[in-house]
Amino acid sequence: MSDGDTGRGGDRIASVGTAFRILEAVRERDSVGVTELAEALDLPKSTVHHYLATLADDGYLAAEDGRYRLGLGLFTLGATARTGERIYHVAKPNVDRLADATGEQARLVVERDGRGITLYQAAGDEVDDPPTYAGDVEDLHCSAAGKAFLAELPENRLDTFLADHALEPRTPNTITDPDELRATLSDVRDRGVAFDDEERDEGVRCVASAVSDRSGELLGAISVSAPVDRMPDDRFRSEIPSQLRNVVGIVEFNTTYSEWSDAL
Amino acid sequence: MDDDAPRMDIGLVGLGEHGGTHAEFLEELGHTVHAVDLDPRAKERFRDRYDATMYEGLDELFAAGIDAAIISTPNKFHETAALKAFEAGLDVLIEKPLAHSLDSAERIVERADETDNICMCGYFHRFRNRCRLAKAYVESGRLGEVTHVDARYMRRRGVPGLGTWYTSREIAGGGALIDVGSFVVDLVLDFYDWPDLEAVIATTRSDFGDREDYAYLEMWGEDDEAKMYDVEDSVTAFCEFEDGRTAHLEVAWAANARRRHEYNIRGTEAGVSLDITTPLESVDPSGRNHRDFRLYEVRSDVVDHYVDSELVPPANDPFRDELATFLAAVETGESPDRCTAEEALAVQRVVDRIYEAADRGQV
């Protein structure tokens, strides 16, 4: 979230920004003490303490033995935020069915501020321990859903994205060269499907397709991921893409006609 | 049609291919078109072509003082539009099939009955002079007792807008069978005067949908990106009706076989071959435009001999006649004599049984 911290002019309330920086920092660390956090954020320990105590008081942090975790008050906010997303309602049953049909991890990902956010996910029978969770964020350049989004961007917005974001390597397969990424995105546009071949996490392959409404507005992406041993080439390049295209087509139609299907 | 026929205000719901054809005829007949769709692309195309008042939603359209509604949305959305129209007291013509599922079709018929509105379903081939005449020959007893109908509706490369909603099970309710096959079921049931189906054996195939080498020779519908394809592209079914009468149905969107739409009606005294294959405008490799419509008999004057008579009724536009019949029904308040919602429900039941039989066979 640090992207938005500067340049908003004089009406920005610094303490609100600090509170959210603290929440983000707690999220990154699972559980954290006052001293550690003060050092990490370069803030006075007493200041950090006041913030933590206030947030804990309001239910947004949970305090335990002098350490802090995120509180369920944030879950209420997050879950409510998700409920407000139209695509969540239309896509959810289809993501469930996709997980069922493939036996793998199916996700609905939306793009916000240059990152992908998992809005919903469902695990098929083959999945023991889902590698991601709802609310998880991911870089766009290394994930299938992210590349599906980037492929939909007009040239000038892609230029801006590439200028603003370093293509950090996550695995040896991550595309870190902007020209190579552009070439890949052109393939994604041709096929309507994006691939992540162990580019975000070693040992995991993922296929995604963007969901747009009929006026062309990008709503999100749906993906299916699996460990490499369950995702051999023909499944990765052909079978899963075709299952995915069916589901994405249905979600797009149901989105367009949601007003006429709600009554059913 | 009748020049004295009153000018009406007709609501069109769903502005795709069929919606456009309805609009064209309605305008020709001097009626006013009121139109709605939720797909911005379909709306824009429609607005460019027709002089219609456009609406934002169903409630707005149905409250606009229209006389009747024509529903040609994707199958899955027929029910919502139809039920709202019935509630608004409107008579409705629904594009075939009646719905994407049997349950949905049943709910439509139920509400049409309860609200006492006319509900007609667009199986327009029933208005084709050739089909009407064949049916009259069956009814008059000229063929004796009809015991078997061999019916084929086969395209060579005619998957509708490969990748549009027609190829999605969830939205269309099925593939070639519920699309063109429902026409075949409708005509066969009508020739037999709406009998009960006793047994069915069926197979569905999907041989062409995912092929990247699929050659678009007979494009039907919008040219859309190929996204969805999870339905059958051909079906073979053998149906046994009450009293042992049978029908063999061959239906295909794509097959490596001669393109045809024909019915061989076999009676104990005579038979009729009825060919209603649509001439191809874009691709016609054979140049064969002659369509057989014959009566096959045997007589015994002097020597036993065959008599093959050609039947030559005047051509008509069945789609237009269907529309005129619906508008007349709206005007008089009397249900039409053909293509009623009850008949369309009977078609839907048979289609559903054929899918069931095919699923059973594949387990």
Q: What is the ipTM of this complex?
A: 0.80
Confidence grade of residue A232 (pLDDT, cut at 50, 70, 90):
very high
pLDDT score for B281: 57
Q: Do B227 and A246 touch (CB under 8 A)?
A: yes
Q: Are residues B229 and A246, on separate chains, in Cβ contact within 8 Å?
A: yes
Alpha carbons A115 and A109: distance in angstroms, whole number? 10
pLDDT at A68 > cutoff 90: yes
Residues of B in contact with A152 (CB under 8 A): none
- pLDDT for the residue B102: 98
**Is the Cβ pair A260, B226 closer than 8 Å?**
no
Q: Does A93 touch chain B (CB under 8 A)?
A: no
According to DSSP, residue A60 is labeled S
Average pLDDT over residues B29-38: 95
The phi-psi region of residue B182 (left if phi > 0; otherwise alpha if psi is between -120 and 50; otherwise beta) is: alpha
Is the confidence at residue B363, as pLDDT, over 60?
no
What does the mean pLDDT of chain A come to?
91
Across the interface, do A261 and B77 touch by the CB < 8 Å criterion? yes
Cβ–Cβ below 8 Å for A246 and B80: no
Q: Which amino acid is located at B204 in the chain?
A: T
The pLDDT score that the predictor gives to residue A175 is 96
pLDDT greater than 70 at residue A4: no
pLDDT in tens, A25-45: 999 898 899 999 999 999 999
- Return the structure tokens found at B40: 């911005």
Q: Does B55 touch chain A (CB under 8 A)?
A: no
* pLDDT over threshold 50, residue B240: yes
Amino acid at B279: P
Range of weakest confidence among A11-20, A240-249, B284-293? B284-293
Q: Which of residues 151-210 of A touch B (CB under 8 A)?
A: 192
Chain B residues close to A246, C-beta within 8 Å: 168, 227-230
Whether pLDDT at B89 is above 80: yes
Summarize the confidence of residues B289-313 as an average pLDDT.
92
Tell me the C-alpha distance between A1 and A21, whole Å: 8
Stretch among A82-96, B94-108, B288-302 having the lowest mean pLDDT: B288-302
Helix, strand, or coil here: A168?
Answer: coil
Q: Output DSSP code: residue B279.
A: P
Q: What is the mean pLDDT of chain B?
A: 91
pLDDT for residue A181 is more than 80: yes
Residue A93's CB: how many other CB atoms inside 10 A? 13
Residue B233: pLDDT over 70:
yes
Q: Is B79 within 8 Å of chain A by CB? A: yes
The dihedral sign for the CA sequence A148, A154, A156, A157? negative
Can you give the length of chain A in residues?
A: 264
> Is any Cβ of chain B less than 8 angstroms from the Cβ of A214?
yes
Per residue in B322-337, pLDDT (tens digit) is: 999 999 999 999 999 9
- Please list every residue in chain B whose beta carbon sits closer than 8 Å to the beta carbon of residue A93: none
